[in-house]
Amino acid sequence: MAIGGTSEHHGGSIRLGMVGGGEGAFIGAVHRIAARLDGDYELVAGAFSSDAERSKRSGAALGLAEDRCYGTFEEMARREKRLKDGVEAVAIVTPNHMHFPVAKAFLDRGIHVICDKPLTTNLRDAKRLKAIAEKSGAIFALTHNYSAYPMIREARARVAAGELGDLRLVQVEYAQDWLAEDVHSKQADWRVDPAKAGAGGCIGDIGTHAYQLARFVTGLEVESLAADLTSFVPGRQVDDNVQVMLRFAGGAKGALWASQVAVGNENALRLRVYGTKAGIEWEQENPNALWFMPFGEPRLLLTRGGAGTGEAAARVTRVPAGHPEGYLEGFATIYQEVARAIRAARDGEPLAPDIMFPGVDDGVDGIAFIEAAVKSSKRNGAWTGL
């Protein structure tokens, strides 16, 4: 019953700012809990809304000083940069179309960025942002949180160690139903507006999560894809269901299905990978378990913290086996890994090799995936390279 995974031993909290995430937002609250959970960060500033009054009200409710609550991200970036105790990192939790300008504003000032996915609304911006991030020298993290689940780390480690043999098949899916009807809400509205979400709807919102997860666990690169995107709900301008066939470099094949109209599903993200020697299966809604299925032997149920689960999972595990960890813990692990990177940067030390979080390259890759899928679908499912 030893406990790893917590980074309580440290040298002072990291001063964090937030852009977006004001009253009524969902993902902003998630980022704040994630930042708090391991005690690595202190939220000290924010531009929670483009309405200055709302921003101050949100900040006050979070216990921030009034002069650290801004009406625009530009003002925040400028002023915080000048403060002696200004933010060291910023969390960007706006709709997609704001990721680029906000990230740029902070990166240009050398402030670390933790950005929600997808990276941008188009590939051109994504590549520009990559250049900006690289030039800045600041740390850039993209919160593909599912890749931080301990049993996903276990899966990745087993694939990397060759325990599955040569990979043949990758089946990944992410099914929801919350957009099965023509709903309107703060969460829904921008996601179905191409101006704010980008060209992809479902494929950008959850398809990229599925894609990133498959890439993260397998290490395989998608060479080309054939996609069929559909908007089932009348009047919807973006896709709400996505069928994709995948061809990976090296010969593996696969399929990706993402849907926001699969009635009865909540967040049914599921990954299955099959190699010559073994297969694995994992489901986000029961994330503490991982099936490992060696060919010609009984299936094993590996558990987070349990026997047979290795170091890659253990180092991001907080509580013993049988006490479930969930979504927030995974999200917090991204923040914790980034905190380690920021501290290393503070101290001018090299990054420990085991630290792992999605970055700007994953972001560019995700946008390339979205664009390829949209393009393939417009070309009636023609195989399209990434």
**Please, which residues have CB within 8 angstroms of residue 165's CB and are 6 or more apart in sequence?**
275, 276, 277, 278
| Cα–Cα distance for residue pair 28/288, rounded to 1 Å | 25
Looking at beta carbons only, is 48 or 100 nearer to a second copy?
Answer: 48
CA 28, chain centre distance (Å): 13
Q: Is the peptide bond before 358 cis (omega within 30 degrees of 0)?
A: no
Rounded Cα distance, 316 and 10, in Å:
16
Q: Strand order of the sheet with strand 222-230? A: 289-294, 278-283, 268-275, 167-175, 253-259, 241-248, 222-230, 384-385
Smallest distance, Å, CB 374 to a second copy?
16
What is the contact mask toward a second copy in residues 262 to 281, using x (rule: CB under 8 A)?
xxxxxxx---x-xxxxxxxx
Closest CA to 213 of 159, 166, 164: 159
Q: Which is nearer to a second copy, 134 or 182 (CB)?
A: 182
Contact 268, 177 (CB under 8 A): no
Binds a second copy by CB under 8 A, chosen from 120, 143, 259, 333: 259
CB of 317 to a second copy, least distance (A): 12
Selected from 75, 181, 182, 221, the binder of a second copy by CB under 8 A is 181
Classified as helix, coil or strand, 325 is coil
Residues of this chain, 274-313, that bind a second copy according to CB under 8 A:
274-281, 284-288, 291-303, 305-309
The length of the chain is 386
CB of 124 vs a second copy, minimal distance in Å: 28
Smaller CB separation from a second copy, 133 or 170? 170
In whole angstroms, what is the distance from residue 126 CA to residue 365 CA? 9
62-81 burial, b for 16+ CB within 10 Å, e for fewer?
Answer: bebeeebbbbbbeebbeebe
Pick the closer one to a second copy by CB: 235 or 298: 298
CB of 301 to a second copy, least distance (A): 5
| Residue window 196-235: x/- pattern of binding to a second copy, with contact defined by CB under 8 A | ------------------------------x-x-x-x---
Q: Is 157 in the site for a second copy (CB under 8 A)?
A: no
CA angle 98, 100, 102 (to 5 degrees): 65
Q: The dihedral of CA 293, 157, 32, 208: what is its sign? A: negative
* Minimum CB distance to a second copy, residue 305 (Å): 8
Stretch that binds a second copy, among 77-85, 192-200, 316-324, 340-348 (CB under 8 A): 316-324
Of 78-86, 130-138, 174-182, 365-373, the segment contacting a second copy by CB under 8 A is: 174-182
Query: Smallest gap, in angstroms, from Cβ of residue 197 to a second copy?
Result: 15
Provide the β-strand partners of residue 115.
92, 142
Q: Which of residues 121-150 bind a second copy (CB under 8 A)?
A: none
* Binding positions for a second copy, 238-257, rule CB under 8 A: 241, 243, 245, 247, 253-255, 257
Q: Cα-flanking dihedrals φ and ψ of residue 277, to 5°?
A: -105, -30
**Of 52-81, which residues contact a second copy (CB under 8 A)?**
61-63
Contact set for a second copy, span 319-378 (CB under 8 A): 319-329
DSSP string across 122-156: SHHHHHHHHHHHHHH---EEE--GGGGSHHHHHHH
* Residue span 32-51 as binding mask against a second copy, x where in contact by CB under 8 A, dash where not: xx--xxxx------------
CA 289 to chain centre: 20
Q: Which of residues 14-33 bind a second copy (CB under 8 A)?
A: 24, 26, 29-30, 32-33
Nearer to a second copy, 137 or 322 (CB): 322
**CA atoms of 292 and 159, how far apart (whole Å):** 11
- Of the pair 55, 136, the CB lying nearest a second copy is at 55
CB of 333 to a second copy, least distance (A): 12
Number of residues that bind a second copy (CB under 8 A): 102
